[in-house]
Every structure is written in C-alpha cells, then in structure tokens.
Amino acid sequence: MTLTASELLVFNTVLLAALASPGAAMLFITRMTVASGRIAGIATGIGLGTAAAMWTLAALLGLEAVFALFPWTYTALKLGGAAYLIWIAIQTWRSARDPLGDAPTARGRAFLSGLLVNAGNPKSMLFAAAIIVVVFPQGLAAADIAVIVFNHWLLELVFYTGLSVLLSSTPARRGYISLKPLLDRIAATLLGALGVRLILEK
C-alpha cells in the first residue's frame, strides 16, 4: 500500500490535538523552559519528540503484539516510567521554595530528561497504534514508515520549539518566579498523580 498526503494530514491533526492536551510532557517542558531557558526547553522538546517518534515506529512495526504476548514487558516499562515521573515530582516539590538560579540546564541533560519522560510511557505507543490502525493501510513500505516517523518527530519538534520560545519570554519567566512555590507544587502534584495512575492502571 502507498502512503497518501490525506492520511498524513489526518495523522497530524490528531497528533497536534494530543500534543496540546495537558499531560506529563506538557508539564515537564513548561517547567524546564521557564526555569532553565529557551535552549533547555528546545532540547527537552527534542527528547520528548524523539521518544514519541520511536513509539510510533514501534507501533508501525507491531510492538503492541509483543506486549500482548509478553505482558511483563509492558508492565516493566510502565512501572519504570511511573517511578521516573514520581521521582521528578518529589524533586520538584522539594525545590519549590529554592531560588530559580542562573545556571541553565545543560542541553544534553535536558534532552535525556525529555527522552526518559516519553520513553517511560508505553501508553504513547498504544495511542500511536490506535491512530495508525484507523488512519494508515496495512502493508506500508519501509520508505512510507520512515516518512511517517520523521513526520511525527518533525511535528513534535516544531510544536515544542514554538512552545519553548513563547514560555521563555521575560514576562513568562517573571510570572513563574513570582509564583514559583505554588506552580512547582502544582506541577509536582500533577506529575506524581500521573505516575501513581500509571502504577494503578491495568
């Protein structure tokens, strides 16, 4: 089967709606950008997008079948991701009253953090698999799969870069500093709740 432009358009529309919805990735990049600056935010977005695109590749290659055959692999990934989110939540809560500081987060560390946030969420792959089953035909060629994965990565990069530019503005940073204890504790609570939800969900 051959990939069509209309199929990509539908995929991108659904993906943009998912990106704009509140979740662990949105909370994480928002805090990283406002706290550490535009470059750290963009690097975090690249990490988030890379992991998400890899989950899409996994879905296209049928990894959900592996999860069905070996449920422990899904459980292990889910628990690892949940533990990482809870760890971030605890660190964020503990540092809520600490001054923001002037040392930005290194790009490599920001990228790795973003990568781990989305890599630890196999539900991203199941979401991608659900979209792929509906939107794309079976039997896609390797070149078509590569186009879909690159398209996904590029869309995430553009979205998160734009978001980082907006959030790194002086007014956004000043607003964050003035409300840092409250905002950090809200973010910590939500991230922790997402981690606990991953643990409790079957």
* Cα distance between residue 183 and residue 92, in whole Å: 10
HSE-CB of 49 using CA atoms within 13 angstroms: 21
- pLDDT of res. 180: 78
- pLDDT of res. 101: 58
Instruction: Give me the residues of the chain with pLDDT under 50, please.
Output: none
- pLDDT of res. 196: 86
- pLDDT of res. 198: 76
- pLDDT of res. 46: 96
- pLDDT of res. 202: 66
What are the start-end ranges of the E strands in the chain? Answer: none
Residue 39 near residue 165 (C-beta atoms within 8 A): no
Domain boundaries, position 78: 5-200
HSE-CB of 108 using CA atoms within 13 angstroms: 0
If we measure between CA atoms, which residue out of 5, 51, 2 comes closest to residue 24? 51
- pLDDT of res. 103: 54
Instruction: Look at the chain and report how many structural domains it folds into.
Output: 1
Instruction: Supply 120's token pair.
Output: 């630890």
